[in-house]
A and B are shown apart, each in its own frame.
Chain A
Amino acid sequence: MRPILLSGHERSLNQIKFNRDGDLLFSVAKDKIVCAWWSANGERLGTYNGHQGAIWTVDVSPNTVLLATGSADNTVRLWNIKTGECVKVWEFPTAVKRVAFSPDGSKLLAVTEKRMGFLGTIAVLDIAYGDGQGGNLNEQADEPSLRITCTESKATVAGWSFLAKYIIAGHEDGSVSQYDPKTGEQLETMQAHEFDHQINDLQFSPDRTYFITASKDKSAKLMSARNLAILKTYTADTPLNTATVTPKKDFAILGGGQAAMDVTTTSARQGKFEARFYHRIFEDEIGRVRGHFGPLNTIDVHPAGTAYASGGEDGYVRVHHFDKPYFDFMYEVEREQLRK
């Protein structure tokens, strides 16, 4: 496969996201712009300009009408995807580290940083879609409908489970917790990763019944959204920044590498700047894809499972469209199962 290299950013990537149809890819980096790309050929559709600081996070609404971004300038911005206009700005006391739309797109959660005496919070915002033709998108509620305060350890990542029944958050101390999105009450918590090893990424399966976490403790875990049971563990030899599960094939893709501050002291070979593919069920590592010159900060998979994109500390996004050997690969037992 020949990757498509997207070099629209001048600094390291923070998050990339496909829309639900997989034709668009959004990327945010430490520079202040958001880029939208066509995933098929790597053409840039446009940029969304307006943020004043590094952009930490991006998410796209399920109907590909609105785009939400969270930034170090303490704001969450909502953009009209088609025109590139900013339709709403929400101010927060601290930087926003993660935003995520609920599965039906009616709500948006924002994870705020713990800093300057403010505790880390998860805010839930109600989202309206105007008249349905792309008009009146700027009529949005000004105040969050719910605020969850994380008193023990700040949340670093969060997302919505199936049917928006729970909010699942990963914390700085390596624990994962489950909240009720109506009352904000904490339902369950689980020390999934080693204590004090931050959870860097949390991505859901297509049906949102389970999710994968990536942590600094060099492992990724597959967990059930319902009761936070650890289903599978994938161990790597390097701190992980991101992990995702692939539709169509039962794989998981993990990305990470030497922390940015240690990079200059190691060569590319030792840096382990590769995307690692694991078999989701057997937990075996089945291959690696190299290419980045720095740690992988973010990985997202095309919703149809035909491609994946990775964003690295080197400022590049690489879009890989899988070719035949990827789809053909099967374990002997899987092949036997198929024959029956």
Chain B
Amino acid sequence: MSQLGNRAAWADDEEFDDPSALPAQEVIANKDGTKTVISYRFNEDGKKVKLTRRIKTTVVREHVNPQVAERRSWAKFGLEKGHVAGPSFDTTSVGENIVFRPSVNWKAQAKEAEKEGGEKGSMKDQLKDKKVKCRICSGEHFTARCPFKDTMAPVEEPTEGGGGDMDDEKAAGGLGAGSSSYVPPHMRKGGAGGGEKMGGRFEKDDLATLRVTNVSELAEEQEVRDLFERFGRVTRVFLARDRETQRAKGFAFISYADRGDAAHACEKMDGFGYRHLILRVEFAKRTTT
């Protein structure tokens, strides 16, 4: 599209100030190594559209054995004879993504994940200890089978859906699959601080986690780890990074195995000079309060 704009041939000179001509494509090199390409085109309605794209180019250079490079030029043979280069769809496909994180206690983790999955469980499990309740006489039978079906009108219920005890259960269980209205996590009876599952995993860590702010942009996770490991066993270091530039964002979280160590580190490291900046260290606050 942009060729029209920036490479106008002499023959097109007359039409140069034509309103249909498009401004030339602009390429701006950004500071962080990315490129911004601004191009113009017409959409279906004939309107001019400005298209801004940010492009990050990654060059992956690979050194291969000359024999390997030579092999790449081999012609196909056998059943593949005469086929074009590139994977063919009938023999090669890409599977779904597999998350594979080796870990020492993967068995415990897998079990936990299974339990979480099982919690939602089947409808049958959920309704296992629910009792049938008649809407007319509150007896233990279906409304349609009620002996007073023809003589009495159903009792008006304050909530739609089931009876009172059913409501309680749902509130405790969080996401009930029933037709009752949605209850936000922090309003539920069971989950005190909301986000039960999310919080549960790091709850213990929170007690011994420090929040470090005013960290240099050039900080490295290993450096930060070394810095804080002097005070005790560090179980986790999280250094926030910019997704694109990979530079530190200026804050980090350090978890200690022991709260005493954390307190000691907090005291010593607050105000410590690191890479020309003075660190500010404090105990991390729970995110969900």
The interface of chain A, by Cβ under 8 A from chain B, is 1-8, 21, 23-24, 33, 37, 41-49, 64, 82-84, 251, 277, 284-291, 318, 320, 322-323, 325-326, 329, 331
A329 in contact with B68 (CB, 8 Å):
no
**B32, CB-defined interface residue at 8 Å:** no
Select A47's contact among B71, B72, B78, B101, beta carbons within 8 Å. Answer: B78
Q: Mark B101-113, 1 if CB is under 8 A from A, else 0.
A: 1111011001000
In the complex, the answer to whether A290 meets B104 with C-beta atoms within 8 Å is no
9-residue interface stretch from B83-91, B123-131, B153-161, B268-276 = B83-91
Contact A320 B98 (CB under 8 A): yes
| B residues at A contact (CB < 8 Å) | 64-65, 67-68, 71-72, 74, 76-81, 85-88, 90-98, 100-104, 106-107, 110
Q: Are B86 and A23 in contact (CB under 8 A)?
A: no
Give every chain B residue within 8 A of A5 (Cβ-Cβ): 92-95
- Residues of A near B91 (CB, < 8 A) are 6-8, 42, 44
Q: Given contact pairs A325-B102, A326-B100, enumerate 9 new A-B contacts (beta carbons under 8 Å).
A: A1-B97, A2-B97, A23-B68, A23-B72, A44-B88, A46-B81, A82-B74, A287-B101, A329-B103
Residue from the set B81, B88, B91, B101 with the largest chain A CB neighbour count within 10 Å: B91
- Chain B residues with CB under 8 A of A251: 102
Q: A24–B71 contact, CB under 8 A? A: yes
Q: How far, in whole Å, are A82 and B232 apart by their CA atoms in the complex? A: 59
Given A2-B95, A23-B68, A82-B74, verify A49-B79 contact (CB < 8 Å).
yes
Q: A285-B106, A329-B101 are in contact. Are A41 and B87 (CB under 8 A)?
A: yes
Separation of A251 and B106 alpha carbons in the complex (Å): 15
B71 and A286 form a contact (CB under 8 A): no
> B95 contacts which of A4, A24, A48, A287 (Cβ < 8 Å)?
A4
Q: Are A325 and B79 touching (Cβ within 8 A)?
A: no
A284: chain B residues at CB < 8 Å are 104
Inter-chain CB contacts under 8 Å: number:
117
- What DSSP secondary structure best describes chain B's contact surface? loop
Q: How far apart sit A286 and B110, CA to CA, in the bound complex (Å)?
A: 11
**Would A21 and B65 count as touching, CB distance under 8 A?**
yes
Please determine whether B87 and A43 come into contact, CB atoms closer than 8 angstroms.
yes
Interface centre among B85, B96, B102, B104 (most CB of A within 10 A): B102
5 contacts between A and B (CB under 8 A): A4-B93, A44-B88, A277-B102, A287-B101, A326-B100
Docked-complex contact B95 and A84, CB < 8 angstroms: no
Known contacts A21-B68, A285-B107, A287-B106; A1/B98 CB under 8 A = yes
Chain B residue contacts of A329, Cβ below 8 A: 101-103
Report whether B102 and A7 are in contact in the complex, using a CB–CB cutoff of 8 Å: no
Q: Which of B67, B90, B98 has a CB less than 8 Å from the CB of A289?
A: B98
Given contacts A3-B95, A5-B93, A7-B93, contact A64 B71 (CB under 8 A): yes
Our pick among B74, B76, B90, B101 for the contact of A325 (Cβ within 8 Å) is B101
Which B residues are in CB contact (< 8 Å) with A83? 77
Given A42-B92, A43-B86, A291 contacting B98 (CB threshold 8 A): yes
* Cα A4 to Cα B88 with chains together (Å): 12
List residues of chain B with CB within 8 A of the CB of A287. Answer: 100-103, 106
